[in-house]
Amino acid sequence: MSPLIHHAALVAACLALGAAGLRAAAACGADGLLRLVAAAPLAVAVAVAQALALGRVDLAASPVLLLAGAVLAWVLAREVLPAPAAPLLGAWRAWWPAQPQAARFAIGAAAGAWVAWTSWQLRFPHLDVDGLIYHLPLVASWMPDGDTGAATPLIEGLPVGNYPLTNEVALAWMTGITHSLVPMSVWSPMLWALAALAAVCGLRALGVDRLVTGVATAALLTMPLVAVQLGGPLTDLPALTWAVVCAALCAASTRRPSLLGPAIVAAGLAVGTKTTPAPLLLLALGTAAWHARASLLPLAARTLAPCVALGAVVGLAWMTRNLVDHGSPLWPFVEGPGSDPLPPALRGFDASFLDDPSGMLSGRADLYLETVSGGFWLLVGALLVPLLRRTRAALLLAAATVLGVFFWMNAPYTGIQSDELAVGATRYLLPALACATVAVAVATSGAGTWTRRVGTGVLMLSLVASLLRMAELGFPYTPSVATIVAGGLLGAAVVGAAPRVAALEGRVPVRRLTPVVAAGFATLVMAGQAEGYLLRHAGLQLFDRPVLGALLRDPTFTIGEGREVAMAPAVLGSLVGERLQHRVLLIPADEPCATTRARRARGWVIAQIQPDTPRGRALVACMQGEPELFRDGRYVVWSALPPR
C-alpha cells in the first residue's frame, strides 16, 4: 500500500478510537473540554491493549487488523454506551464564544505555534540518542514478526526489553499501521498538547483563575526538561502527560466521582511508561478516592472495575512479567528477595542522590540549575507561596512537592557520578515539578494582592528562565523563534478569520467540512513527510549520520526489503529503513563466528567500535579478513549482498 493509504488508515483508526473514548468519557460524566481529557487515556489504553493482544499471536504489525480493532471498539462503544447528552462540538460552540477575545487569540496563537513546532520536527526528525539506541529499536524489533511487547535484546548486558514499555507499545500500534517512522516525531508533540489541555482543565477544576492557569501551564510545559523530549520517541514527556491527565481527572472527580475510572487508566499509562510518577499518582488517586468514598461502591461494577482492569493491563503488565521471569517487579532496576541479580551493567549505577548529596552537588550545582532552569523557581515557589497563603490545599500541595523531591533524591540512578548521567537524571524530577506548579498556582489564585504578586512573579520568572534556556538549546532541539512566532501569528489569524468563515454556513457546510479538512491535512502532511525521513535525519549531523549515510547510498538498503542488520554490542534504530523494511537485531554474544560471518549474505553485519568494548573488539576480530563496506571512528560495516 502507498504511504497515503497507510497514513489515512492511521487517521481513521485514531478517529475511531477517539470517538469510542469520547463516548466512554461522556458515560463517566465528563463534559466540555474535560471530555477530551478523559477520552484520551481510554482510547490510548485500548490501542495498547489491542496491540499487546495481537502481539501474543504475532499479528500486531498488520495494518488491517489494527484498523479493524479500532473500528470494532467504536462499534462496541456505540452499541453498549449511551449517547452523550450534549455532543462535543455543541459544547465547544457554547464554550468558545464565552471566552474573552484576548483568550481566544492566545489559544489560537498557541495552537498555531504547536502546529509549526510539530511540522518542524517532521522536517528535522531528531529522534535523540535514547530514541535511537533503544526506544525506536524496540518498536522496530516488533514489526517483522508482529510480536509487540516482546522483551527483545538490543544492548549487550542491558535488558531494555524489561523496562516499562507502554509508550513503545503505543508507538508500535501507530507504526504497525503506517509502516513509517512518522509516529516517532508526532507522538510526543501530541502528548504535549494533551498535557496542556489537561493542565488547564485540572487547574480550573481546582478553582484557579484563567490568568494564573495560563501562566502556570506555560511554565510547566516550556521547561527545557520537557522541550528536549519533543524530538523523538522518549518516555519522560509521555509519563508526565498521563500523570497530569490523571491529576486533572482526580481534581474534577470531587464533583463527578465517576471520573476516577479514566483517572485510574491514565495512572496505568503513566506507570506503564515510567515508574517515576507512581508515588505522587497514588497520593492523588488516594485523595480523590477519599473524597468520593460515598460513591465508590455504586460505581465499582459499572465504571471502576472495567477501568481498573484496563489500567492494570497497560500499567502492570511489565511488572508482572518481570516478577514471573526474574523474581522482582522492578527488575532490572531493583532486586527482590530471591530475584535474579541486577545486570552487571547496572551495578554501581544504582546509587541515589541522598547517598552523597554534597558530593553530587560539588562541582555540579550550576549544571543542575542550568538543566532544571525554570523548574528551580517552581520548586522555590512551591515552598514559599503556600506559606504566604496558608490555605489547607496549598500547604498540602507544598508537602506533596517536598515528598516528590524526596522520592527523586532517594531513587536509584540519581547518584551516578558521571556529570552527564547525573544531570540527565533530573528528568525523573518532572512529576515533582508538575506538583510544584500546581502548588504555586493554587496558592496564587484568589490570594491577597501581595501573595498574588509573588506567586504570579514566580510563575513568570520560571517561564522566562525556561524560554531563555530553550532559545540557548536551539537546533536541532527547538525550532527558531521565527518559526514559532510565524505559527503563532497564523493561528491568531485563523481565530480572527473564523467568524467570517462561520458566516458562510448557509452556503457551505463549514461545520461538516472542518473535521474532514483537518483529517485530510494531517494525512497529507504525514504521508508527505514519510518519504525522505531518514535522509532528513541524517542531515542533522548526529552520531549515526556516517553509518546511516553509507547505507542510504546503497540501493540494496533503500530499495530492498526484508534484509538483516545484525549489530553488536548495541543496535541502532535508524538502520531499520524508513518503511521499517529491515530487521535490526543484536548478535548474541555466544554466537559462533562462522554463523556471524554467514549473516553477511542476508544483509549487513555492523560492529560498534566506539566506545571501546570487549564485545565490539571480538566482533571485529571475528570479521577479520572480510572486506569492509564502511568504517569510521564508531562503526564498521560488512556485507556480502550483491550490488543492485
Residues 15-29 pLDDT 10s: 999 999 999 999 999
**Cβ-Cβ contacts under 8 Å for 469 (sequence gap 6 or more):** 224, 370, 373, 374
3-state secondary structure of 158: strand
**Residue 174 and residue 139 in contact, taking contact as beta carbons nearer than 8 Å:** no
Query: Which residues in 538-570 are b (16+ Cβ under 10 Å) and which e?
Result: beeebebbbbbebbbebeebbeeeebbbbbbbb
Residue 408 above 70 pLDDT? yes
**Residue 43 and residue 21 in contact, taking contact as beta carbons nearer than 8 Å:** yes
Q: Which three cell numbers stand for residue 459?
A: 510563575
Residue 319: closest CA among 291, 339, 300, 346:
339
Residue range 199-237, pLDDT digits in tens:
999 999 999 999 999 999 999 999 999 999 999 999 999
Q: What integer pLDDT is reported at residue 497 of this predicted model?
A: 87
> CA 203 to CA 217: how far, in whole Å?
9
Q: What integer pLDDT is reported at residue 392 of this predicted model?
A: 95
Q: How far is the CA of 393 from the CAs of 219, 251, 438, in angstroms? A: 21, 12, 10
Q: For all residues of the chain together, what is the average pLDDT?
A: 94
Residue 506 above 70 pLDDT? no
**Residue 329 and residue 317 in contact, taking contact as beta carbons nearer than 8 Å:** no
Give the range among 88-97, 144-153, 524-533, 630-639 with minimum mean pLDDT: 88-97
The pLDDT > 90 percentage for the chain reads 82
140: which strand partners? none
Q: What integer pLDDT is reported at residue 508 of this predicted model?
A: 67
Q: What integer pLDDT is reported at residue 599 of this predicted model?
A: 97
Torsion over CA: 641, 642, 643, 644 (sign):
negative
Q: What integer pLDDT is reported at residue 561 of this predicted model?
A: 86
**Mean predicted confidence (pLDDT) in 493-498:** 89
Residue 398 above 80 pLDDT? yes
Residues in the chain: 644
**H or E element that contains 155:** none
Q: Using 50, 70 and 90 to split pLDDT, how confident is the model at 296?
A: confident
- In one-letter notation, the amino acid at residue 213 is T
Q: What integer pLDDT is reported at residue 643 of this predicted model?
A: 75
Q: What integer pLDDT is reported at residue 297 of this predicted model?
A: 84
**Mean predicted confidence (pLDDT) in 24-35:** 94
Q: Using 50, 70 and 90 to split pLDDT, how confident is the model at 452?
A: very high
**Mean predicted confidence (pLDDT) in 311-331:** 96
Residue 387 above 70 pLDDT? yes
Q: What integer pLDDT is reported at residue 644 of this predicted model?
A: 66
**Residue 484 and residue 117 in contact, taking contact as beta carbons nearer than 8 Å:** yes
Q: What integer pLDDT is reported at residue 422 of this predicted model?
A: 87
Residue range 533-567, pLDDT digits in tens:
999 999 998 999 999 999 999 999 998 888 999 99
Residue 507 above 80 pLDDT? no
> CA 407 to CA 282: how far, in whole Å?
13
**Residue 486 and residue 116 in contact, taking contact as beta carbons nearer than 8 Å:** yes
Residue range 571-596, pLDDT digits in tens:
999 999 999 999 999 999 999 999 99
Q: Using 50, 70 and 90 to split pLDDT, how confident is the model at 294?
A: confident
Q: Using 50, 70 and 90 to split pLDDT, how confident is the model at 522?
A: very high
More confident residue, 379 or 363: 379
pTM over 0.85: yes
Q: What integer pLDDT is reported at residue 505 of this predicted model?
A: 65
> CA 180 to CA 243: how far, in whole Å?
28
Q: How far is the CA of 225 from the CAs of 17, 192, 431, in angstroms? A: 30, 12, 11
606: which strand partners? 567, 637
Tell me the HSE value of 637 on the side-chain side, using a 13 A CA sphere.
Answer: 22
607: which strand partners? 568, 636
**Residue 237 and residue 475 in contact, taking contact as beta carbons nearer than 8 Å:** no
**Mean predicted confidence (pLDDT) in 166-177:** 98
Q: How far is the CA of 606 from the CAs of 353, 615, 639, in angstroms? A: 37, 12, 9
Torsion over CA: 149, 151, 153, 155 (sign):
positive
Q: What integer pLDDT is reported at residue 14 of this predicted model?
A: 98
Residue 38: closest CA among 26, 50, 47, 48:
26
More confident residue, 506 or 613: 613
3-state secondary structure of 167: helix
| 521 C-beta neighbours (distance < 10 Å), count | 12
Beta strands across the sheet bearing 603-608: 583-586, 564-568, 603-608, 635-639, 628-631
340-349: list long-range contacts, CB under 8 Å, 24+ apart: 343/157, 343/158, 343/159, 344/157, 345/157, 345/158, 346/158, 349/412, 349/413, 349/416, 349/421
Residue 598 above 90 pLDDT? yes
What is the DSSP code string of 436-456? Answer: HHHHHHHHHTT--HHHHHHHH
For cell 450534549, the residue is: 86
The secondary structure of 66-78, three-state, reads HHHHHHHHHHHHH
**Mean predicted confidence (pLDDT) in 161-184:** 98
Instruction: Name the burial class of residue 202, with classes exposed (0-12), middle (13-18) and buried (19+) by CB atoms within 10 angstroms of its CB.
Output: buried
Give the range among 124-128, 305-309, 360-364, 402-406 with minimum mean pLDDT: 360-364
DSSP conformational letter for 290: H
> CA 584 to CA 149: how far, in whole Å?
16
Residue range 331-366, pLDDT digits in tens:
999 888 989 999 988 887 778 999 889 889 888 899
More confident residue, 38 or 92: 38
Q: What integer pLDDT is reported at residue 98 of this predicted model?
A: 85
